Amino acid sequence: MGSAMQQRGYERGDAQRLQRCINDMVAVLALPAVWQGRPPAVVIATLLDGLLRLEHLDAVSIRLKVPVDGAPQEILRRSPEAEPGTAPRRASFRLGIGEEIGVLEASSARPDFPTPSEVLLLQVAASQAAIALQEARRFGEQRRAAQELERCVDQRTAEVKAVKDELAGDLVAMIGLHQLGARLIAQRNLKDVLAEVLEATINLQSADFGMVQLYDEGEQALELLAQRGFNADFVERFRFVRSDTPSSCGRALAAGARVIVDDIETDPAFEGLRTAARASGFRAVQSTPLLSRTGRMLGMLNTQFRAAHRPSERELHLTDLYGRLAADLIERKQNDEDLRRTQDELAHVSRVTTLGELASSIAHEVNQPLAAVAANGAACLRWLAAQPPNLDEARAAVERVVRDANRAADVVSRVRAFVRRGAAQRSAMDVLDAMREAASLVLDRARHHDVGINVVEAPRLPMVLADRVQLQQVLVNLAINAIEAMSMVSGRPRVLEFEARESAPDGVLVMVRDCGPGLPPGQRERVFEPFLTTKADGMGMGLAISRSIIEAHSGKLWVTPNPAGGECFQFTLPTSPTAPLN
């Protein structure tokens, strides 16, 4: 009986201890809700007080490895019930991984300390504390970052406010520069372009006069291109300026850098030109060189003022932007002109080379009418020598002589036109005429390779806007390529076909077809690349030049397979808006 009661007593004690452990665990797990938004010092103090009360410990402490947002680095709590002089048992628990935050330490004089349940509870408490302190550290860093950000924002706002007017002015100027650039790119006349840049610079600097000059490399001098406000004597005197001239533009040309004379009356270097300056009415001047992106001199942008004056740094900075725009446009115009001359020269060389390939065909075309002239001349002499002279037959023979001589002259004229050197002369023309002329130029070569030529004529075809010689060059080049390709074909007819038809919108499509073996695999996409050729003795430039000519005419050249075998080279040309239908 007594043993059973004792057993029940033990069970009640175990149940009570278990209940107390559960209650302690719940209390520890509830601590994060209490810590929400609290500073680290409160988190630590609350944890230590709770552990001291729940676990009946003699002492409990936390040592932080690094102070967290103002919390003490070490906090200790002692129980008032702890007996002095006793040697307590201690247990340590890490806060965070590898004690990255600190250590929680508990001590008690009980011989069974720490029990498994106390170890578990203290581990959970240490984990909860580590999470809360990490959150507190992160929150503190965020708060400090927010404060720093707010301070920076306030400072930046003050700075922005201080320069608001200047930025607004710069914005207006940059918008004006952008609009100016958009207008100038569309203009073709360089003088008009630079005159507009000069006007914008005068308005920017509130100047009274201005002039813009182009650099002539051959003369090594600045040539006046546009000006505002000057009299005829000044314009004549400064029409050409060299680097040895003491004017501001001459000095800027020599130095390759901007020259500012804020008062010509006090500038020693301007002494020899003061009379001319006074007569023109200006007293201050600035000259900004227009340089290419490689530093090559292109021209000079000058502004003059009636009174002593020096442009502000902001005005000079914006002047540099206007100068950069002007220099880019000058260089672009010069490059376009150089490119046009190079393309014309290359096209001329290509035509001369093609002429050499067509020498036999040309000789045949000339020999036929010349032989007819000789035959008809001899016939005329016979009819005149007859007794009596047959004047009707002689007259008919002379008429045939004139006709055949004109035929020979036409052949020579076509050859001379084909090889003439000069810039492209675009005009309204009949593309069918160009196809017929190209066919006649390659006729003898086609006969030599047993190739027939067919020109498909479309009714009411619009006139195209093109340079006759360059268009003929493209057609002849495509025809020669087609004839040479078909020379390797056997077992089927060899036919070179020209065809033109109307192509929407506002264009004409020209096709040159052959019945050859076709291009090798993978070369159709690359056939227009320079120096790519399928001929043993070819240069690989004919198709590249042809494409550049067609693209210069605002057209497009490409190649597709010919359904009957071989290739079909096609290109488009714009129609002439004022020419009637053919």
pLDDT per residue as tens digits for the range 98-144: 667 788 888 888 888 888 887 888 888 888 777 777 777 777 778 88
Out of 335-339, 379-383, 420-424, 464-468, pick the least confident.
420-424
How do strand 59-64 and strand 102-108 relate by DSSP bridges? antiparallel
Q: What band does 420 get if pLDDT is binned at 50, 70 and 90?
A: low
More confident site: 512 or 19: 512
Out of 281-290, 361-370, 489-498, 539-548, pick the least confident.
361-370
- Give CA–CA dist 232/242, Å, rounded: 20
More confident site: 213 or 335: 213
Range among 12-26, 466-480, 518-532, 537-551 with highest mean pLDDT value: 466-480
Topology of domain 171-336, CATH: Beta-Lactamase (3.30.450)
Q: Can you tell me the mean pLDDT for 203-224?
A: 92
More confident site: 416 or 290: 290
Q: Can you tell me the mean pLDDT for 260-280?
A: 90
- Least Cα distance to 474 among 441, 503, 504, 515 occurs for 441
Please name the residues in contact with 351: beta carbons below 8 A apart, sequence gap of 6 or more.
418, 419, 469, 473
Q: What stretch(es) of the chain map to CATH 1.10.287?
A: 358-421
- Least Cα distance to 422 among 478, 356, 471, 469 occurs for 469
More confident site: 535 or 216: 216
Cβ pair 354, 348 in contact under 8 A: no
Question: Is pLDDT above 70 for 502?
Answer: yes
Q: What band does 212 get if pLDDT is binned at 50, 70 and 90?
A: very high
H/E stretch holding 5: helix 2-29
The pLDDT of residue 227 is 92
List the CATH code of the domain at 426-582.
Answer: 3.30.565.10
The pLDDT of residue 215 is 94
- Is the alpha carbon torsion for 251, 253, 256, 257 positive or negative? positive
More confident site: 181 or 150: 150
List the CATH code of the domain at 10-143.
Answer: 3.30.450.40
In this predicted model, what pLDDT tens digit does every residue of 340-352 receive, in sequence order? 676 666 666 665 6
More confident site: 177 or 158: 158
- Give CA–CA dist 371/381, Å, rounded: 15
As a residue count, the chain comes to 582
- Give CA–CA dist 71/526, Å, rounded: 75
Q: What stretch(es) of the chain map to CATH 3.30.450.40?
A: 10-143, 171-336
Helix axes 359-385, 431-441, angle to 10 degrees: 80
Please name the residues in contact with 275: beta carbons below 8 A apart, sequence gap of 6 or more.
none
More confident site: 308 or 336: 308
Q: How many helices (H) and strands (E) does the chain have?
A: 16, 17
Residue type for 154, please?
D
- Give CA–CA dist 377/402, Å, rounded: 10
- Give CA–CA dist 276/248, Å, rounded: 13
Where would I find the H helices in 358-455? 359-385, 391-419, 431-441, 443-448
Phi–psi pair at 69, nearest 5 degrees? 45, 50
Q: What band does 362 get if pLDDT is binned at 50, 70 and 90?
A: low
Q: Can you tell me the mean pLDDT for 441-461?
A: 85
Q: What stretch(es) of the chain map to CATH 3.30.565.10?
A: 426-582
Cβ pair 207, 304 in contact under 8 A: yes
Residue 505, preceding peptide bond in cis (omega within 30° of 0)? yes
The pLDDT of residue 359 is 59
Question: Is pLDDT above 70 for 413?
Answer: no
Q: Can you tell me the mean pLDDT for 139-159?
A: 84
Mean residue pLDDT of the chain comes to 81
Where would I find the H helices in 163-309? 164-186, 190-205, 232-237, 248-255, 274-280
Among the four given CATH numbers 1.10.1740, 1.10.150, 1.10.10, 1.10.287, the one describing domain 358-421: 1.10.287
- Least Cα distance to 240 among 262, 226, 221, 259 occurs for 221
- Give CA–CA dist 522/525, Å, rounded: 7
The pLDDT of residue 17 is 66
- Least Cα distance to 445 among 517, 496, 497 occurs for 496
Range among 34-38, 153-157, 244-248, 352-356 with highest mean pLDDT value: 244-248
The pLDDT of residue 536 is 47
Share above pLDDT 70 across residues of the chain, in percent, rounded to a whole number: 82
pTM for the whole structure: 0.44
Please name the residues in contact with 167: beta carbons below 8 A apart, sequence gap of 6 or more.
160
In eight-state DSSP terms, residue 520 is P
Query: Rounded to an integer, what is the distance from CA 201 to the centroid of its chain?
Result: 27
Share above pLDDT 90 across residues of the chain, in percent, rounded to a whole number: 21
